[in-house]
């Protein structure tokens, strides 16, 4: 009842106070919007454009979930979070899902009590150096001044790497990617280390991108993925299968262009039929419409399309699929069967 | 005298000399210069050094400032333009003003819906009207009533909502005062205060919710048909509009691409073709930006309407289902075994399970399962009720479209936090200041402790508390959004400073004022209300203004906890591919915004200080 | 009516007196306030416990003992990533105090100069100072901090430029203004060099005493005895004598090197070849390491220096195998060798190299210089990182603008009669300012000055914006992030800030009370 006390006191300010450990799906439906935690700004992954509309690879996950639950990719409230505030925001129910390039680690899963619903980007920590330094391996970085983003696992990985290899270095902790870029370009640090995707994205914006190399060593595994609170498995399932719907769609060749046609009638491939809701009742089992996956693909696109539109090789970020190709093409992206 | 000596003196001047011009070196620019700039060798050297310094700074900065990049649509284009002019394309070649053209609205208003910009503007304009009677004594006194109502109008305008919510708040305050007066007349004033406070607590915790729900239901059922029809019509209209907009956007994009791709990348060509192309593309780009804005607005509106339509469609089923659900929940509850009968919430069940695990209590598994089922049914009832309530609320809303505080950003967020925190901290500060002045030891030490705690820690630690800990301190299940949490902490922070400012005002009053009040037979509160506070607050106004300026500047700290104030937005803007690498232009623009606000406020407070001094002493 | 004297109130206590009797009412209010306060505390605590339970967290401070795992680039104490979170927090606290201390000093100096200059009768100076004050006062300090950082990064040359010759060292080649920070020379001393410092301090005390005596004589006789020469001699001679004595000792103190992983005693040149990597354990600030460096460079032996905070740290790392060559006194070499061999767990063989060299003078200066091989960077000397510089610069300039206003107000508060009287006595304007106006203005200035110092200290927590590892960056930053202990870290952090603030204001209030005019 205390909740209603605060609720009515706050209607003045027009602010709703709702959070509960369970039944996030019902909350989201009742609210009509999905609260999605994103980064305050990472090129290609999440950033607002001039109209105030958020765009990016992580943002697409939010939009997919909103489409699945509410039928509307725009029904998302984006909550910018920092490395420090993201977990509190999720734990306290301020956001329903966190899609902020967050590494899946044991302690976050077990100790902080979150459920990672999958991996939407396989990443690893790498190093970028200017060519003029003449460095070709991270083992040659003795005495380097290294820019690192704080609030992540990056700085621990870095300390471990240099300690194991008995190299010395000077850390320069940085809050945001753009500041790191500024320091790196001015030569205030010799090396910039962060996730390889971030390095590539940063390098792509340089005037002379060819003057900088990304070293071959990847010193950590960084499986990045969206996460939800422990203890609400229905909601976890909704987010998980909204994401996997995009992955499976790419595998079966369902794109935003042909999804209308393919879902009009049941086709030959039963898996595609189940995915698009022309056969079976997978959507209902999740508490969603039968054609939730169709709507996602129609409005957001499949995994490959989202990748290509936000961070793919045709964009300024220019990331190759690499580990993030479908398993059929030698990558790690793999959706469990829709059955 | 002259008569007496008229004959003895050989020459007497009988006409006054013409008044001569002062020497050229003491008047005009020369004189002024001699007096103010070149009084001695030391001063002359200092003057020359200063002039050289100023000239050097201007020499360095002006070429950077003067840079024809207003129309550029990305940093890349800025560099192109600068190189075409034969300048260095890097940071020092010239400013890239395109980023300001592209994002200035965002830096001011954040993500506030662009069709609702009139609301924050109106709120600010009304803020001026509300403060006016406090600052200008010549204005009609009746305006004070508006000042009293304004604290309710401001949040309503910014956050929106049904019109009766602010009305209920105003009614609550008036009724509380009425209760205080009524009870106070028939018993002691102390009882009056207690009764008034109790009534206010009752009103704001329970009655407002109940009344607004009732209003929602009554108005909602009356309007539901018309709203549904209207929504359908609007959805159809907006869908058509968004399709048209998309087509138009594609066409405009193609036009722009054509113009831009007609010129190749310049390498200091100097023929102006690149700049020319960008300028030719500028009108289309403006159109494109407008179209995109419009599409964004239309898309948002469409989503809202669709959600509303879905809610309305679901409503009859929900209403018809509710009695069954309730009955089921009651039956289940009654059938519960005694061992778990008193468990009413999930939190309590968690505690119970923990106790079972530790072996303190023994409850059969089937009892627990029954309990789980009951709780689920009860939750279902509550959820359905909530859904019905929220649908009625949406249908019945006569007033402003609600805007969630996540959409606040840029200067709007700074101003909102600053204004709300200062307004709320004023009453708190008065109470704390009086507490600190009081003879009551416990009250005094509590106040001193609070003030010193708040003044002793940096604001940023309080913001960390707001972002990570405040929800932990509040009852389980409550959850304010981050802006509100920041406002709470900023209010507490500002109230400590406010208390010190007001304490200064109280200390400045002569003892005679207190004695005079006593001799009139006024009690403590009467004396404070009628004699002390009006004077003390008047003296404190400059201090209050400078506290406000300080807090307003400190709102930039919220960027550290991920709120997109101007400084936080600058990071987000730089994450956009088009503007990745822009630094000085954004910082400079933000600094300018703050400078304008703070400088004008501080000048005004100085003017007030002078005015109040003559009025008072 | 007139004759009846009102009865004194009946003795005895009625419950209603708690409300109506002013004697008891204050008690009632206090008790109510106390109960309300306790209820509030209880409410918050019970909520916290319940919420933490739900989140599955417990309140414990054990994490402070765990290894921090991250590095800090500007430390006043020995620190590496294997030290505990507590140690990291202490490093952060010292960094906070450092920047606050430096900031207060420079802000006061700039503030006083600007405040006086604003009252200058030179129009241009007064205007410029006004612009400075308004510019800094009306723009948020966080913006100035990021601005200062951006300026340092973008305008100063990088170490790469120093190597390629595009930039050169300043101040006679002793200091490098680079965009990683300012690299300045540092003193390298023998273990007994503290004697020198002690002697110097004693001499300073003696000079002060001489000066006081002279003033006393002046007060008694009106004649100021000449003390300049005596003071100079007192200051210089003992220090020189001690320095020469210590240097003679240390120059005869021969140093040798202990190397790990060699079978027989060889020369350093041979050892370098055999070992492949010749990592010199280099305790900063120690004269013997400088001597070893110079010896190796003279012999043209390729080596790599591993800097450590102290001799102890160097020794520890030598035992762990992080560096290969340790410099020790020849006299104690065999004893040290034995002790080290015992501590080396993996049984690595240790040998004393055949070369020896003298320790050199008692105190010497080590200049920073750019490395020849590998990634260009500055080696030797001390560095002020640009995060520290930006924070220091921005905080002092920002606070100085406020101090300038306080100083100006203080000077204006002194009545014109004081100045006029002083000039009637024949004092020159400069002396009027320093002898008459400022001392009086000081009384007006100090109380607001204290609160500016407090503000500066609190604003130093914005270090997080430029990556300076102060208390907010370590304990309330990375430690919080890595351990997820929000409640504990924030509580400790806030408590420390509160203690700093309270002690600053207590100290300054004590000073204020001392200089305050004793009023009737």
- Domain spans of chain A, in order of start: 22-121+224-329, 125-220
Contact B89 A207 (CB under 8 A): yes
Interatomic CA distance for residues C68 and C82, integer angstroms: 6
Q: What are phi and psi of C91, to 5 degrees?
A: -55, -45
Residue C140, Ramachandran bin (φ over 0: left; ψ between -120 and 50: alpha; else beta): beta
Asked if pLDDT for residue A40 goes beyond 50, the answer is yes
Q: Locate the chain C residue with the closest alpha carbon to B51.
A: C124
Interatomic CA distance for residues B425 and B568, integer angstroms: 25
Contact A72 B306 (CB under 8 A): yes
Q: CATH number of A22-121+224-329: 3.40.640.10, 3.40.190.10, 1.10.260.40, 3.40.50.300? A: 3.40.190.10
Rounded to a whole number of angstroms, the distance between the first and last alpha carbons of chain A is 42
Q: What are phi and psi of C53, to 5 degrees?
A: -60, -45
Quick one: average pLDDT of C123-136?
93
In this structure, whether the domain defined by A125-220 belongs to CATH 1.20.210.10 is answered with no
CA distance C143 to chain A (A): 14
The answer to whether A255 and A161 are in contact (CB under 8 A) is no
Contacts of B165 in chain A (CB under 8 A): 11-12, 14
Asked if pLDDT for residue C517 goes beyond 90, the answer is no
Q: How many CB atoms lie within 10 A of CB B153?
A: 17
Interatomic CA distance for residues B228 and B395, integer angstroms: 9
CA distance B284 to chain A (A): 16
Res B616: pLDDT: 41
Contact B456 C33 (CB under 8 A): no
Q: State yes or no: ipTM above 0.90.
A: no
Asked if pLDDT for residue C90 goes beyond 90, the answer is yes
Asked if pLDDT for residue C255 goes beyond 60, the answer is yes
- Lowest mean pLDDT across A77-81, A102-106, B206-210: B206-210
Q: Which of A26, A48, A86, A211 to mutate to test the interface with B (most CBs of B within 10 A)?
A: A48
Per-residue pLDDT tens over the stretch A249-275: 999 999 999 988 888 888 888 889 889
The closest of A313, A306, A234, A226 to A22, measured between CA atoms, is A234
CA distance B184 to chain C (A): 14
Interatomic CA distance for residues B356 and B336, integer angstroms: 18
Strand A227-229, strand A114-116: pairing? antiparallel
Same fold for the domain at A22-121+224-329 and the one at A125-220? yes
Cα–Cα separations (whole angstroms), residue C224 to C203, C209, C432: 21, 15, 21
The closest of B402, B399, B308 to B112, measured between CA atoms, is B402
Cα–Cα separations (whole angstroms), residue C385 to A55, A192, A194, B355, C392: 37, 17, 22, 55, 11
Q: Locate the chain C residue with the closest alpha carbon to B597.
A: C138
Among the partner-chain residues B166, B307, B474, the one whose CB lies closest to the CB of A72 is B307
The answer to whether A284 and A237 are in contact (CB under 8 A) is no
CA distance C425 to chain A (A): 58
Contacts of A12 in chain B (CB under 8 A): 152, 155-156, 165-166, 169
Res A6: pLDDT: 38
Interatomic CA distance for residues B214 and C418, integer angstroms: 74
Residue C235 burial class via C-beta count within 10 angstroms: exposed 0-12, middle 13-18, buried 19 and up: middle
Asked if pLDDT for residue B257 goes beyond 90, the answer is no
Interatomic CA distance for residues C352 and C348, integer angstroms: 13
Per-residue pLDDT tens over the stretch C11-33: 567 777 776 677 777 888 888 88
Q: What are phi and psi of B148, to 5 degrees?
A: -65, -35
Query: To which H or E segment does residue A297 belong?
Result: helix A292-299
Helix (H, G, I), strand (E, B) or coil at B205: helix
CA distance B444 to chain A (A): 29
Asked if pLDDT for residue A15 goes beyond 80, the answer is no
Res B481: pLDDT: 81
Number of H helices, E strands in chain A: 14, 14
Q: Locate the chain A residue with the closest alpha carbon to C320.
A: A166
pLDDT class of C371 with cuts at 50, 70, 90? confident
Interatomic CA distance for residues A195 and C170, integer angstroms: 38
Res B373: pLDDT: 84
Res A10: pLDDT: 41
Query: To which H or E segment does residue C178 belong?
Result: strand C176-178
Contact C464 A188 (CB under 8 A): no
Chain B: touching chains (3 or more CB pairs < 8 Å): A, C
- Checking B531-539 for CB contacts under 8 A at 24+ apart, the result is B532/B506, B533/B430, B535/B505, B535/B509, B535/B616, B536/B502, B536/B505, B536/B506, B536/B508, B536/B509, B537/B430, B537/B502, B537/B505, B538/B505, B538/B612, B538/B616, B539/B504, B539/B505, B539/B508, B539/B509, B539/B612, B539/B616
CA distance C496 to chain B (A): 9
Asked if pLDDT for residue B229 goes beyond 50, the answer is yes
Chain C: touching chains (3 or more CB pairs < 8 Å): A, B
Question: How far, rounded to the nearest angstrom, does the alpha carbon of residue B612 sit from its chain's CA centroid?
Answer: 28
Position of tokens 């996602």? A296
- Lowest mean pLDDT across A310-314, B352-356, C437-441: B352-356
Q: Where are the alpha helices (DSSP H) in C165-278?
A: 194-221, 228-251, 268-275
Res C92: pLDDT: 95
Q: Locate the chain B residue with the closest alpha carbon to C55.
A: B472
pLDDT class of B1 with cuts at 50, 70, 90? very low
Encoded tokens for A306: 């989202």
Contacts of C18 in chain B (CB under 8 A): none
Asked if pLDDT for residue A16 goes beyond 50, the answer is no
Q: How many CB atoms lie within 10 A of CB C410?
A: 22
pLDDT class of B6 with cuts at 50, 70, 90? low
Which range scores top for mean pLDDT: B343-357, C89-103, C293-307, C499-513? C89-103
- Lowest mean pLDDT across A57-71, B547-561, C20-34, C412-426: C20-34
CA distance B558 to chain A (A): 11
The closest of B451, B426, B525, B554 to B147, measured between CA atoms, is B426
Contact A173 C56 (CB under 8 A): no
Among the partner-chain residues C54, C153, C376, the one whose CB lies closest to the CB of A188 is C153
Res A328: pLDDT: 92
Q: Which of residues 79-108 of B touch C (CB under 8 A)?
A: 91
Residue A89 at interface with chain B, using a CB cutoff of 8 Å: yes
Contact C484 A111 (CB under 8 A): yes
pLDDT class of B4 with cuts at 50, 70, 90? low
Helix (H, G, I), strand (E, B) or coil at A145: strand
Res A3: pLDDT: 37
Interatomic CA distance for residues C154 and B113, integer angstroms: 37
Quick one: average pLDDT of B235-260?
90
């Amino acid at each position: 009842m205390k909740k209603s006390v605060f609720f009515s006191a706050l209607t003045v300010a027009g602010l709703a106070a709702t959070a509960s450990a369970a039944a996030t799906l019902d909350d989201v439906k009742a609210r009509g919007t999905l609260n999605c935690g994103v980064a305050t700004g990472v090129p290609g992954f999440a950033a607002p454009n001039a109209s105030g509309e958020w765009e990016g690879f992580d943002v697409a996950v939010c939009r997919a979930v909103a489409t699945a639950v509410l039928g509307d990719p725009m029904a998302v409230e984006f909550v910018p979070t920092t490395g420090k505030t993201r977990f509190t925001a999720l734990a306290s129910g301020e956001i329903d899902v966190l899609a902020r390039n967050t590494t899946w680690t044991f302690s976050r899963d077990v100790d902080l009590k979150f459920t990672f619903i999958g991996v939407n980007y396989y990443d690893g920590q790498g190093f970028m150096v200017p060519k003029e330094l003449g460095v070709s391996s991270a083992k040659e970085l003795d005495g380097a001044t290294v820019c690192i983003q704080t609030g992540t696992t990056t700085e621990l990985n870095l300390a471990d790497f240099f300690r194991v290899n008995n190299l010395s270095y000077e850390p320069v902790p940085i809050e945001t990617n753009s500041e790191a870029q500024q320091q790196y370009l001015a030569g205030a640090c010799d090396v910039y280390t962060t996730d390889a995707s971030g390095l590539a994205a940063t390098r792509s914006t340089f005037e002379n991108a060819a003057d900088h190399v990304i070293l071959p060593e990847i010193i950590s595994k960084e499986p990045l993925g969206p996460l939800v609170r422990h203890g609400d498995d229905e909601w976890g399932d909704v987010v998980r299968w909204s994401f996997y719907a995009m992955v499976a769609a790419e595998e079966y060749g369902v794109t935003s262009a042909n999804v209308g046609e393919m879902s009009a009638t049941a086709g030959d491939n039963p898996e595609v039929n189940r995915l698009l809701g022309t056969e079976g009742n997978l959507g209902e089992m999740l508490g969603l419409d039968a054609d939730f996956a169709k709507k996602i693909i129609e409005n957001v696109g499949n995994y490959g399309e989202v990748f290509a539109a936000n961070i793919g090789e045709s964009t300024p970020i220019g990331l190759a699929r690499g580990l993030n190709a479908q398993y059929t093409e030698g990558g790690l992206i793999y959706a469990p069967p829709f059955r | 005298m002259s008569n007496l000596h008229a004959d003895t003196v050989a020459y007497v001047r009988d006409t006054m000399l013409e008044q001569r011009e002062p020497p050229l070196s003491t008047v005009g620019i020369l004189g002024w210069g001699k007096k103010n700039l070149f009084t001695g060798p030391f001063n002359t050297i200092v003057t020359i050094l200063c002039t050289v310094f100023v000239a050097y700074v201007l020499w360095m900065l002006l070429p950077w400032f003067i840079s024809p990049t207003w129309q550029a649509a990305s940093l890349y284009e800025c560099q192109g333009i600068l190189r075409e002019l034969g300048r260095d394309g890097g940071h020092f070649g010239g400013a890239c003003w395109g980023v300001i053209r592209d994002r200035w609205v965002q830096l001011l208003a954040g993500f506030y819906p662009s069709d609702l910009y009139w609301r924050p503007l109106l709120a600010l304009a009304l803020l001026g009207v509300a403060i006016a009677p406090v600052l200008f004594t010549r204005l009609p006194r009746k305006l004070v009533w508006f000042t009293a109502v304004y604290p309710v109008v401001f949040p309503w305008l910014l956050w929106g909502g049904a019109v009766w919510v602010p009305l209920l708040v105003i009614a609550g305050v008036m009724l509380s005062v009425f209760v205080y007066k009524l009870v106070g007349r028939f018993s002691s004033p102390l009882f009056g205060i207690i009764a008034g406070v109790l009534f206010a607590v009752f009103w704001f915790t329970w009655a407002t919710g109940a009344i607004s729900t009732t209003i929602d239901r009554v108005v909602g059922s009356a309007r539901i048909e018309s709203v549904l029809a209207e929504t359908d019509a609007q959805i159809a209209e907006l869908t058509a509009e968004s399709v048209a907009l998309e087509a138009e956007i594609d066409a405009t994009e193609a036009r722009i691409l054509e113009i831009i791709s007609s010129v190749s990348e310049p390498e200091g060509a100097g023929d102006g073709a690149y700049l020319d192309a960008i300028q030719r593309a500028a009108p289309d780009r403006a159109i494109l930006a407008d179209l995109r804005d419009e599409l964004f607005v239309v898309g948002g509106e469409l989503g809202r309407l669709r959600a509303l339509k879905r809610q309305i469609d679901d409503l009859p089923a929900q209403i018809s289902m509710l009695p069954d659900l309730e009955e089921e929940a009651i039956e289940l509850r009654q059938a519960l075994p005694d061992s778990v009968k008193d468990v009413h919430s999930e939190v309590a069940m968690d505690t119970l399970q923990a106790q079972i695990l530790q072996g303190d209590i023994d409850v059969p598994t089937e009892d627990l399962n029954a309990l789980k089922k009951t709780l689920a049914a009860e939750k279902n009832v509550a959820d359905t009720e909530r859904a019905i309530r929220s649908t009625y609320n949406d249908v019945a809303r006569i007033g402003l479209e609600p805007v969630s505080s996540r959409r606040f950003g840029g200067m709007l967020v700074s101003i909102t936090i600053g204004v709300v925190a200062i307004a709320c901290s004023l009453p708190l500060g008065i109470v704390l200041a009086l507490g600190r002045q009081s003879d009551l030891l416990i009250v005094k030490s509590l106040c001193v402790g609070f003030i010193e705690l708040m003044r002793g820690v940096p604001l940023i630690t309080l913001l960390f508390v707001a972002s990570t800990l405040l929800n932990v301190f509040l009852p389980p299940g409550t959850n304010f959004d981050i802006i509100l949490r920041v406002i709470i902490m900023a209010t507490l922070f500002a109230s400590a400073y406010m208390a010190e400012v007001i304490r200064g005002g109280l200390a400045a009053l002569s003892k005679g004022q207190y004695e005079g009040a006593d001799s009139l037979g006024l009690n403590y509160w009467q004396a404070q209300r009628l004699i002390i506070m009006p004077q003390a607050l008047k003296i404190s106004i400059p201090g209050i203004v400078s506290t406000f300026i300080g807090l307003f500047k400190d709102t930039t700290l919220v960027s550290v906890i991920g709120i997109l104030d101007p400084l936080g937005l600058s990071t987000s803007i730089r994450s956009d591919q088009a503007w990745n690498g822009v630094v000085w232009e954004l910082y400079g623009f933000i600094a300018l915004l703050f400078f304008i606000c703070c400088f004008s406020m501080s000048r005004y407070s100085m003017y007030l200080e002078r005015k109040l001094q003559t009025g008072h002493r | 009516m007139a004759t009846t004297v009102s009865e004194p109130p009946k003795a005895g206590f009625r419950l209603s007196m708690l409300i109506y009797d002013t004697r008891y009412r204050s008690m009632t209010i206090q008790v109510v306030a106390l109960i309300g306060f306790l209820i509030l505390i209880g409410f918050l605590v019970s909520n916290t416990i319940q919420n933490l339970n739900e989140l599955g967290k417990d309140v414990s401070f054990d994490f402070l003992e765990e290894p921090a795992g991250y590095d800090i680039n500007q430390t006043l104490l020995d620190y590496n990533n294997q030290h505990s979170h507590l140690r990291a927090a202490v490093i952060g606290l010292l960094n906070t105090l450092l920047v606050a201390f430096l900031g207060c000093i420079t802000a006061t100096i700039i503030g006083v100069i600007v405040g006086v200059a604003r009252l200058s009768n030179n129009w241009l100076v007064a205007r410029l100072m006004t612009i400075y004050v308004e510019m800094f006062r009306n723009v948020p300090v966080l913006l100035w901090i990021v601005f200062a950082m951006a300026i340092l990064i973008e305008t100063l040359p990088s170490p790469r430029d120093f190597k390629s010759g595009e930039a050169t060292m300043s101040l006679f080649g002793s200091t490098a203004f680079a965009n990683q920070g300012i690299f300045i020379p540092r003193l390298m001393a023998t273990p007994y060099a503290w004697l020198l410092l002690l002697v110097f301090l004693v001499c300073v005390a003696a000079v002060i005493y001489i000066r006081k005596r002279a003033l006393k004589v002046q007060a008694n006789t009106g004649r100021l005895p000449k003390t300049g020469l005596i003071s100079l001699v007192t200051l210089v001679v003992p220090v020189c004598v001690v320095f020469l004595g210590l240097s003679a000792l240390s120059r005869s103190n021969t140093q040798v090197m202990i190397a790990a992983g060699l079978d027989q005693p060889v020369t350093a040149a041979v050892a370098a070849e055999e070992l492949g990597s010749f990592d010199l354990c280099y305790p900063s600030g120690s004269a013997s390491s400088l001597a070893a460096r110079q010896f190796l460079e003279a012999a043209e032996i390729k080596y790599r220096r591993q800097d450590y905070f102290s001799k102890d740290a160097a020794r520890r790392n030598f035992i762990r195998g992080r560096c290969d060559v340790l410099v020790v006194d020849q006299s104690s070499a065999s004893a040290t060798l034995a002790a080290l061999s015992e501590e080396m767990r993996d049984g690595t063989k240790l040998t004393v190299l055949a070369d020896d060299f003298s320790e050199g003078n008692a105190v010497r200066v080590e200049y920073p210089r750019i490395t020849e091989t590998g990634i260009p960077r500055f080696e030797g000397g001390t560095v002020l990182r640009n995060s520290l510089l930006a924070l220091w610069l921005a905080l002092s300039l920002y606070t100085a603008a406020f101090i300038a206003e306080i100083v100006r107000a203080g000077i204006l508060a002194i009545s014109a009669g004081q100045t006029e009287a002083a000039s009637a006595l024949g004092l020159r304007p400069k002396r009027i300012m320093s002898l008459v106006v400022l001392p009086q203005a000081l009384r007006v200035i100090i109380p607001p000055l204290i609160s500016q110092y407090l503000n500066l200290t609190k604003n130093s927590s914005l270090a997080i914006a430029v990556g300076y590892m102060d208390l907010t960056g370590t304990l309330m930053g990375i430690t919080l992030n890595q351990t997820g202990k929000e409640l504990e870290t924030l509580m400790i952090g806030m408590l420390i800030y509160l203690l700093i603030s309270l002690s600053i204001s207590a100290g300054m209030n004590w000073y204020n009370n001392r200089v305050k005019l004793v009023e009737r």
